Amino acid sequence: MEEPKEGENKSKVLVVGGTGYIGKRIVKASLKQGHPTYVLRRPEIGLDIDKLQMLMSFKKKGARLIDGSFSDHQSLVRAVKQVDVVICTISGVHFRSHNILLQLKLVDAIKEAGNVKRFLPSEFGMDPAQMGHALEPGRVTFDEKMTVRNAIHEAGIPFTYVSANCFGGYFVGNLSQMGSLTPPLDDKVSLYGDGNAKAIFLDEDDIATYTIKTIDDPRTLNKTLYLRPPKNILSQKELVGKWEKLIGKELIKTSISEEDFLASMKGMDFAGQVGVGHFYHIFYEGCLTNFEVELEASSLYPEVEYTRVVDYLIRYM
């Protein structure tokens, strides 16, 4: 019997938002794991040469580009009809671009096409189903993600939700300090309260690897997969301690009370207020680790050698 060719028995994947922060990693992971990989090329990129060149680089690596636009319903229907799985990674953070509800148009197209066996909407952060109590104005992120989820359920579309917690690029290198992406140059660090609330930190390439692992896995069908690699469940104080050990000196620490932290919202722009709300839930409330989960990625896929926080930190030395 002839052996199956690479990708022959693997789902065809369409990535929407493939030039974004997580999207580009999803494309690479899909190709690496042998899936026939398609990327939506939207006319909205206009003269953004960086995005165009990224798309062309994907094509060179074997991805196929499909033209489609959120303003052209039939183009989306034609796109999704060519694949088995749709993964959407359009941005949901306010300091970049915030387009979560655009996915409702994608849901309509998937429903009309009728062939998609799995849809992974743009989630990848905190589980919105756990955030019904979230503070204004940051709760808009979770409310909009739940609106998309409700549309998926009403349309009867098979799904997987991926809850990836804290992206390393935004939470590890800066020791979880707001307003910076790199370690403090003045050897001073602010702790949220006592700094002991447990958070979960992920390497972005690992997020993509785990995400692609789910798409042909019956265990994750119509489920939420939580990314909780045990070595990366740390408090902010523990995160700072790992950095101190690497650089061989102790940082000067100050504590920000819950009241002072929330008061800092005053005078901030909308994106800043959203960020403060999210940081509050993570680092004062411990919202990432204060509930039990059914499906955890590092347990389901022990073959994935995930990046430890300390190895992520070494990149900043």
Q: Each residue of 243-258: b (16+ CB within 10 Å) or e?
A: bbeeeeeebeeeebee
Query: Choosing from 10, 28, 51, 145, which is the catalytic residue?
Result: 145
Q: Each residue of 39-72: b (16+ CB within 10 Å) or e?
A: bbbbeeeeeeeebeebbeebeeeebeebebbbeb
Whether 237 sits among the annotated catalytic residues: the reply is: no
Find, among 114, 104, 55, 103, the residue nearest to 80 by Cα. 114
Q: Each residue of 144-161: b (16+ CB within 10 Å) or e?
A: bbbebbebbeeeebebbb
Q: Residue type for 177, please?
A: Q
| Euclidean distance between CA atoms 238 and 241, whole angstroms | 5
* Phi then psi dihedrals of residue 199, to 5 deg: -120, 175
Catalytic residues: 145
